[in-house]
Amino acid sequence: MASKPKPAKPVMRPSKIPANLFRAVVEQADIAISITDPHASIQYINPAFTRSTGYAPEDAQGRNQSILSNHTTPPDVYRGMWEKITAKEPWSGRLVNSRKDGSRYLADLTITPVLDAEGNISHFLGLHRDITDLHSLECAVRNQKAVIESVVDGAPMVLALLSMEDKVMLDNHAYKALMADLGMQEPAAVLLEAVRSNMGSGFGPFRPGARAFLDQQVRLDRPHWRNPRWYSCSGVWVAADNDDADAFYDGHSDAYLLLVATDVSRQVTEHEKARVAALQVMLAEETRQQALRESLSAAVFQMEGPLNVLNSVVNLMGRRGCDPAQAALAEALKAGQSVLETLRATIPFAQTEATSLVNLNEVVRDVLDLSAQKFLAAGVSVAWQPQLVLPGIQGHANRLRSMVKALVDNAVEAMNVKGWNQRELTLETSLEGGAVNVNVIDTGPGLPAEQRLKAFEPFWTTKKMHGNHLGTGLSSAQQVAVDHGGNIQLTESARGGCLAQVILPVKHAGEE
């Protein structure tokens, strides 16, 4: 059985609009309308045309549209316009026009050719509006933008506007120069990471114009820089209107962070010189105290052995019965132990030190500066390869400095062998897996695997000391690392020498 045919869809024919309605629309339109013949002779103008130009219908009809022309419009513009419309294509552009009173205005003009039934041009329809005020506003915005850009680019400080995802939206010349110096894509990410590490918490709440953070000092270390650089960083919250069409009515603003970083290296360097000079004096005193501690500790260490043997002999003689010599030996043992306790009591205590946030790049650079004369005397060349920014660790700055210095001194001593020509020392810092690593790498003879644990024993060495005490450098260094929750590992370096790797965990605020 054949299916019934589907009913045809009704054909929608446009309803005829009365001619008087068309005329009313054109007459009342708030845009200047003109109709000319193919030679640009005006046939019709609407009231909006009169309001814009000052020409009434009786002034304009029959006259050429060029009555509006002004010599400030380049001839090429008119030439391009006529080429377009005579090719039966619409043209849009801007012309400087003159009103009837001679005043000039900027017109945004669209000319559309009107074709007859044979496809020939019968008329031109012109629509134009006065955009002088709009043009003035555009110029004011452009000028203001140019002035702001000139001021921003001329500013000596680093400026960068960032989205909430830390993406740089705008920057200045100082920022680009820093980018080139660092050889990296976006320095802003590094600076913000360092600021967050310093603060240990988030930025201040978003309020347009409010500060997110203020005067946070960030240290940048780079291998090719003679000295580190310091930047004082501040952040200001900025709100910008969303320019999406669907955001026109909701009043939503996008949040941005304006990062301002001022290079304060010159001021800090002067302070650093004074700090390092004071540190040198303090370190000299600490070295003297450490030498005294080690000398007395070595004496105690050397006395304990014979006294322990003597104690064993006295106990053995006591078990065998009364021996006239036992009493004399016991008296001698007692006197020796008394002297040992007196000697142990004279060992000076290490100074206590409060904890603070310590930058290990700064610690290593301090040691390098303080050891410069030692490097020269031993003919050691030094390569410094820091991570650009390191998070601070809670610790004892002087003890950490002593730890690194002990490792450096040990490396220099290992290479300071007669006839040993390859004397290169490399120090590296890095952040890996939530821990700061400090690598001290020498090109000395290295240390056999079976001796690497022994190296941390007090007074142990691979060299003959000719009567000098052997010291407790690596033992003390390991103790400092352990007290900071880390450790020191000795391995063979890629170049055959020794690699001493310090691993210190980064503890965040509130962590034990």
The pLDDT tens digits of the residues spanning 165-177 come to: 889 999 999 999 9
Q: State the pLDDT confidence band at 268, using cuts at 50, 70 and 90.
A: confident
Where do runs of H (alpha helix) occur along 61-131?
A: 75-86
Mean pLDDT of 87-91: 96
DSSP category for residue 73: S
Bigger pLDDT: 75 or 298? 75
| Range with the poorest average pLDDT among 389-398, 447-456, 495-504 | 447-456
Note the pLDDT of residue 470: 35
pLDDT band with cut points at 50, 70 and 90 for residue 8: low
pLDDT tens-digit map of 380-439: 999 999 999 898 899 999 889 989 998 999 899 889 888 888 899 999 999 998 899 999
Q: What pLDDT, in 10s, does the model give residues 181-202?
A: 888 878 999 999 889 888 876 7
pLDDT in tens, 314-331: 777 777 665 677 777 777
User: What does the pLDDT read at residue 149?
Assistant: 82
Q: How confident is the model at residue 482 (pLDDT cuts 50, 70, 90)?
A: very high
3-class SS of residue 43: strand
Q: So what's the pLDDT on residue 461? A: 60
- pLDDT score, position 471: 40
Confidence grade of residue 509 (pLDDT, cut at 50, 70, 90): very low
Separation between Cα atoms, residue 30 and residue 48, nearest integer Å: 6
Mean pLDDT lowest among 76-80, 150-154, 241-245 = 241-245
Given a contact cutoff of 8 angstroms between Cβ atoms, the answer to whether 415 and 380 are in contact is yes
- For residue 23, what is the enclosing H or E element? helix 19-28
Three-state SS at 482: helix
Residues sharing a CB contact under 8 Å with residue 207, sequence separation 6 or more, in sequence order: 237
Cα dihedral 111, 115, 120, 123, rounded to 10, equals -50
Number of C-beta neighbours around residue 288 at 10 A:
11
Q: How many CA atoms lie within 13 A of 408 on its CB side?
A: 30
Global pTM value:
0.64
pLDDT at 230: 92
| Residue found by looking up tokens 């500060």 in the block | 211
